[in-house]
Amino acid sequence: MSEGVLFWIGFSVYLAIVLLIGVLTHIYRRSRTLADYLVGGKIIGPLTTAFTTTASIASGYQFVGLVGTAFLFGFASFWFLVGDLIGVTIQYAVAPRFRKFTGRLNSITIVDYLADRVEDTGHVVRALAAIIVFVFMSTYVCAQFTAGGKAFVGLGASYDLGVFVTWLIVTVYTLLGGYLAVAYTDTLQGIWMLIGMYTVIPLAIASMGGWHAFISRLAEQSADLLSATNGMSLEAFLLFMGTIFGIGVGYPGSPHSMGRMIGVRSPKAAAQAGIIAVISWILIDTGSIFLGLTARAMMPTIADPETSYMVMVRELVPPIAAGLMLAAVYAAIMSTADSQLLAAVGALVRDIFQRILNPNADEKKLVALSRILVVAISVAGLVIALRFSGAVFWFILFAWSGVACVFAPIVVLSLYWKRLTKWGVVAAMIGGSTTAVIWHFTPVLKEAVYEGFPAAVVSFLLAVVVSLLTKPPEKVIKILEGVW
């Protein structure tokens, strides 16, 4: 049997396992209500919550985007780990309180929570937030399909085929199993990501003659690759750090990962999940960065650094094992695309259709509508991804800035500041998202610092200032008494 056939057998085995989880979840844990489909009936434990949260953010950023960034920036890329740790620490620090609040308000999406928290009886917050989540989460899905296409290029296949395969697998198991299928596959995929990384890294370093030879190769190319600042001036480094912290600040506002805090079975389980999540992030980010570093040492002239992992695996691992290892890329991509699909669907079905247009809608019809929209949104993402093949890392960061970095200050304020008002949230969302878009498409601003940082600052300031000028909620504060 040829090496190519063995490779694709190994790759297909993993994809078949992921699909099987979706089918079995559909058979044995059928979604009967919208809450079942979107948050799994709020029964998920700490281990699964930690892995599904981590995997839902990791995405193509991990094996494609961050690997390519480490290839270019060298050891300075470890600052991205610092940013991620800041973000995940904040996220899980507020998670138990967030779970209490969402439980008391019976929320099943982040939009649901924000609207009820500020007594949005006129549905201004709900409609605006749902639109923002839908637009940016759909953009995020496109980025994941693009990453899938790039991964296939690294495997020696076509970009279009990769986009199509990624779309098909993600759509089928999300369609069938909803949140539970997503959570269970994310756990498998998070573990498989780690196995893939920490199999390839030591093999790559050994192939170069060991650690000292690896470091020597990097030093021969540029001493800046071994520097914590990559040779940047103080001004450039401070702006670089603004990008790092701009990424980290968005964690508590991420609709798809904070949805996991709603789906966890209890506030205590949310706190326990935080410990596991921090450890997993250290391992995953460190793995991604070392993949980029070893790729730079092994093959410094590779045409597209974002395909580095795929190329290394084909060179270092036997065919059938290579197929399984490269499935780790799809583990990262699929574990985020499925979560973003559900976040986009939740924004339309729960926050627009059920809560605004048809409050008395039948639960079975809501689940059916959710499944229809999973297909519709994923097909739209497929079409766009087939036409776009830009840099995955920066595409993902743009989507992150427009929603996570904007929502994060609002979520944190909503948990600890009773004075937050509906109009404060509206001003923050409009101002923050507008800032992210304008900053991203203004070259002189974009080159200065990542748009997520100014978007978060504007969101926070507007939320506070406008809230102080408008009437605070009253009824919801009474509902939440004893939780504050």
Token duo for residue 422: 């509906």
Q: How many Å apart are CA 179 and CA 35, to the nearest integer?
A: 9
What pLDDT, on the 0 to 100 scale, is given for residue 279?
A: 92
Residues of the chain with pLDDT under 50: none
- The DSSP bridge partners found for residue 264 are 44
Single out the residue of 379, 466, 388 nearest to residue 427, CA to CA. 466
Tokens read off for 340: 């973003």
Domain map of the chain by residue range? Answer: 3-398
- What is the per-residue pLDDT across 409-423, written as a single tens digit (0 to 9) for each? 999 999 999 999 999
Residue 404: which of 447, 370, 448, 451 has the closest Cα? 451
Q: How far apart are CA 274 and CA 258, in angstroms?
A: 12
First to last CA, the chain: 64
Cα 5 off chain centre by: 32
Which residues share a beta bridge with 44? 264
- Class for the domain spanning 3-398: mainly alpha
Structure confidence at residue 468 (pLDDT): 97
- Ramachandran bin of 369, using left for φ above 0, alpha for ψ from -120 to 50, beta for the remaining angles: alpha
| pLDDT for residue 60 | 62
For residue 256, what pLDDT is reported?
Answer: 82
Q: What is d(CA 382, CA 60) in angstroms, rounded to the nearest whole number?
A: 15
The string of DSSP letters for 403-430 reads: HHHHHHHHHHHHHH-TT--HHHHHHHHH
Residue 482 class from Cβ within 10 Å (0-12 exposed, 13-18 middle, 19+ buried)? Answer: exposed
Tokens at residue 327, please?
């499935």
Indicate the residue type of 360: N
Scanning 299-316, the segments in alpha helix (DSSP H) are: 308-316
pLDDT digit string (tens) for 273-318? 999 999 999 999 999 999 999 999 999 988 888 778 888 888 888 8
